[in-house]
Amino acid sequence: MIDNVKANPLSYGLAFLGALLWAGYCVATIRISKGVNGITLFFMMVAVVLWIKYLLIHEDFPMHFSIMAIIYLILAACAMGFGYAAWNIGIMYGNVTALAGASYFTPILSSLLSSVLLSTSLGLSFWQGSIMVCAGSILCWLSTKKFSQKKNKI
């Protein structure tokens, strides 16, 4: 793994930064949202900015639309928009511990679905990683459970 990090320091650095920013975003959302979910407006604004950017520099990357491409675009937009909106609702009003635990399984379910759609098999390293993710999720849940029990006793 160290060799991979040395070969791709920017990728791993940005992934680490993204993890820190995501954690900060989740904590900040809980503290400053006051029950208002702004993620839908944020995604709409980002989409408008990216389409404007594409229209300004599109000559190098022509886009060809078909009915299937439009359907996939709409489905992807809905999946992302509803997913982030649901995440924000969960963060603001739900059980954050359960939400965090469930989020560990999202990459596993995504990989399983992708393998079915692409008719490919998942290797041993995937299953080993899945077991580690599940174990990590259970470990995190147990640690927060013990902490909340101690907190309630005080």
Better-predicted residue by pLDDT, 112 or 100 = 112
Judged against a pLDDT cut of 90, whether residue 16 lies above it is answered with yes
Distance of CA 25 to the CA centre of its chain: 12
* pLDDT value at residue 79: 87
Cα–Cα distance for residue pair 15/32, rounded to 1 Å: 25
Better-predicted residue by pLDDT, 57 or 112 = 112
Q: Detail the DSSP E strand segments found in 56-129.
A: none
* pLDDT value at residue 148: 57
* pLDDT value at residue 13: 94
Q: If pLDDT is split at 50, 70 and 90, which confidence band does 151 have? A: low
Token digits of residue 75? 């489905």
Judged against a pLDDT cut of 80, whether residue 14 lies above it is answered with yes
Distance of CA 108 to the CA centre of its chain: 12
9 vs 3, 14, 21, 47, CA distance in Å?
10, 8, 18, 29
* pLDDT value at residue 133: 85
Are 141 and 101 in contact by the 8 Å Cβ rule? The answer is: yes
- Give pLDDT tens digits for 67-87: 999 999 899 988 888 888 888
Query: Could you tell me what percentage of the chain is helix, strand and coil, using 3-state DSSP and rounding each to the nearest 5?
Result: 85, 0, 15
* pLDDT value at residue 82: 85
Q: If pLDDT is split at 50, 70 and 90, which confidence band does 47 have? A: confident
* pLDDT value at residue 147: 58
Judged against a pLDDT cut of 80, whether residue 138 lies above it is answered with yes
* pLDDT value at residue 103: 80
**What is the mean pLDDT of the segment spanning 37-63?**
81
